[in-house]
Amino acid sequence: MAFIRKIRTGFLHKIRFSISVRLSLVYSLVFVVVVALIYLAVVPKLENNLTSQKESELGNYASLFSESFLSAQNQGASLIYLDHLVQQFSVTADARILFMDGSGNLLADSQNGQSFDSNDYSISKRAINHRGPLTDVVTQSNNQKYVMAAVPVASSNRIVGVIVVSQSLAGVQSAVSLVQRLLGIAAGLALVLALISTYLVSHFLARRVRRIEAGAVQIAKGDFATRVPVKSQDELGQLARTFNDMGDKLGAAFQQIDVEKRRAKLLLDDLSEGVIGIDTSGNIIVANPAAESLLGKTIEPPVALQGCVPEEIFDLWDSMSVNSPQREDTFLLGSGQALAVHSSYLSDQAELASLLVLRDVSQEVKLEQSRRDFIANASHELKTPIFSLGGFLEILQDEEVDENTKREFVATMREQVDRLANLARDLLDLSRMDSGAMSVQAGNVELNEVISSVAREFSARQVSGDARVDLDGLPAGLTACCDRDRTVQLVRILIDNALKYSPANTRVRVSGRNGNGASVSFTVADEGPGIPHDEIGRIFERFYRGHGAGRIRGTGLGLSIAHEIVRLMNGSISVESAGRGSSFTVTLPANGKAAPRRVAH
């Protein structure tokens, strides 16, 4: 008996704590509740809907039949004829038809052989009093429920009778009972299947959890500081105990894994910044490839920091302290390279004590220098004509000068005003390009007409001995897809630049070429002193003027603007100079090959 009791206790213990049993019981409870809610929502509503449908149907029949009875009454029909009508209508409506006079006396009944109790058909009197059709569910003296519809029959506002259509609700109750039985059978079968499937699935999941437990035991090699509480004896409780066992060994390796993780992040090859990790002794323990590239040498840790970085960078690192844990500065190296260095003190208790982060800022330094040069050149270009105008105005105001001298002064002052206006226009164009306010509207442009028009502008201002513009090399039908106004500005800049640097009695040749159908190009070539090879790369920089510019007037902005205009029109511009003379070639999309509109950005 004791052995049997022990087996029963163990079985009940397993049943009580099994996840499979718990899930099955919970699912069963939920299923029963859901089925009960469905039953309460569906069955009463179904019965009400069927009853309402039956009332509506009988009401329609009663209204339809009342017209025939009214006609019969008006014609003085006999009781035999009325019996015939109710029999006929009873077959049509599959219901009992009764016709009574205005006092409620029965005149005709489709079921003449059955007993008639006026109390069972009180709806007739209510319909007479209501003077309109009525429908109702009535429980008769035999405890049977009937649906009844009563419609008064009136002639000249006088009620001469009432027709009652009656039908038993036994069919409706039978249909509802059938639905109840089917719902109960389906729910029972679904519950059994659900219990079986739930138990099997939950049992399978429990087996998977036990496999996880076994795997966790195999990979346990450290200690967790946080303990998982064991609050049950089921499979999840066993899994919690297993993870607690794993925690004894995983914790010891946690700190080392974290250090290795941070070291791995520092050594990621895709970092563009150079990162150098230094220990408490000043030795490099980690360095990524970017650091080696920026310093131009191979670093093989552990190695002293002082011998691997420039002296200035080492001094920056050496100046750190607990009170000043972060230092940063920018250094210009002998090769022209600029490095921004950020030094961070981490801790003197860990192997990785400090970090050096190197970033190449050569381009930023170059841009800053260009900005300063821009301001200096702009100031100079503004200062010269302003001082000149001030001097002439002072002379004209304080001294008496003859008319010829005054005309010369006015002409010179006009030149200076034009110089200021040109500078302001160029600066405005550059500002609009930088801010994205300049746009181009592409269309088919005849380059021959544009270049000829611009050439005529310069020819009108030329005097004897000046360089001449030669358009003989320009083929006919040179059409590009570009902005006409911007193209005029572009051609004007190139021809003006060529004429400035051309000696007297020479030619500025403009030629063109149709490409392979995708592009067209034109070239402006002069016979000037040419451009040194080391200056060609800077020729399109703002305010840049080569050493050969000498005393030739200009702001150094024209070619920069020309370069931006060509870029906006999806084209390209190149320059060639071999010894004497220079040539600028502009390539633009051919007819219909460019986007309709671009905005500077």
- DSSP string computed for 106-156: EEEETTTTS---GGGGTHHHHHHHHTS-EEEEEE-TTS-EEEEEEEEEEET
My answer on whether 401 and 479 are in the same domain is no
My answer on whether 380 and 462 are in the same domain is no
My answer on whether 412 and 306 are in the same domain is no
447 in a structural domain: yes
Q: Of the residues 303, 334, 360, which one is the last residue of a structural domain?
A: 360
CA gap 290, 269 in Å, rounded:
7
Residues of the chain with pLDDT under 50: 1, 3-4, 6-16, 594-601
199 in a structural domain: yes
Q: How many CB atoms lie within 10 A of CB 82?
A: 18
567 in a structural domain: yes
Query: Are the C-beta atoms of 92 and 85 separated by less than 8 Å?
Result: no
238 in a structural domain: no
Domain extent for 454: 436-599
235 in a structural domain: no
- Collapsed DSSP state (helix, strand, coil) of residue 481: strand
Contacts of 121 (CB under 8 A, 6+ apart): 98, 100, 138, 148, 150, 164, 166
167 in a structural domain: yes
- Here the CATH number for the domain that contains residue 70 is 3.30.450.20
pTM: 0.43
My answer on whether 340 and 388 are in the same domain is no
2 in a structural domain: no
My answer on whether 73 and 163 are in the same domain is yes
My answer on whether 356 and 410 are in the same domain is no
Whole-number pLDDT of residue 238 = 74
Query: Are the C-beta atoms of 159 and 153 separated by less than 8 Å?
Result: yes
Q: How many domains does the chain have?
A: 4
- Here the CATH number for the domain that contains residue 380 is 1.10.287.130
391 in a structural domain: yes
Q: How many CB atoms lie within 10 A of CB 91?
A: 10
My answer on whether 389 and 504 are in the same domain is no
My answer on whether 127 and 178 are in the same domain is yes
Please name which of 93, 100, 99, 16 lies closest in space to residue 60, comparing C-alpha atoms.
93
- Here the CATH number for the domain that contains residue 534 is 3.30.565.10
Q: 501-542 pLDDT, tens per residue?
A: 888 888 899 999 887 778 899 999 998 888 888 788 888 887
Q: Of the residues 202, 219, 236, which one is the last residue of a structural domain?
A: 219
Whether a cis peptide bond, with omega within 30° of 0, leads into 302 is yes
Whole-number pLDDT of residue 584 = 93
Whole-number pLDDT of residue 586 = 93
My answer on whether 54 and 121 are in the same domain is yes
Whole-number pLDDT of residue 347 = 73
Please name which of 409, 298, 295 lies closest in space to residue 358, comparing C-alpha atoms.
295
Query: Are the C-beta atoms of 172 and 51 separated by less than 8 Å?
Result: yes
My answer on whether 44 and 158 are in the same domain is yes
Sign of the Cα torsion 169, 170, 171, 177 reads positive
Contacts of 5 (CB under 8 A, 6+ apart): none
Six-digit token string for 312: 């200035």
My answer on whether 571 and 468 are in the same domain is yes
Beta strand 468-473 with 507-514: parallel, antiparallel or unpaired?
A: parallel
Mean predicted lDDT score pLDDT of the chain: 76
Q: Of the residues 360, 389, 417, which one is the last residue of a structural domain?
A: 360
Whole-number pLDDT of residue 553 = 63
Angle between helices 79-93 and 19-74 (to 10 degrees): 150
Place of tokens 């004791």: 2
The β-bridge partners of 154 are 159
Q: 302-340 pLDDT, tens per residue?
A: 888 888 888 888 888 888 876 778 888 888 776 667 888
My answer on whether 274 and 394 are in the same domain is no
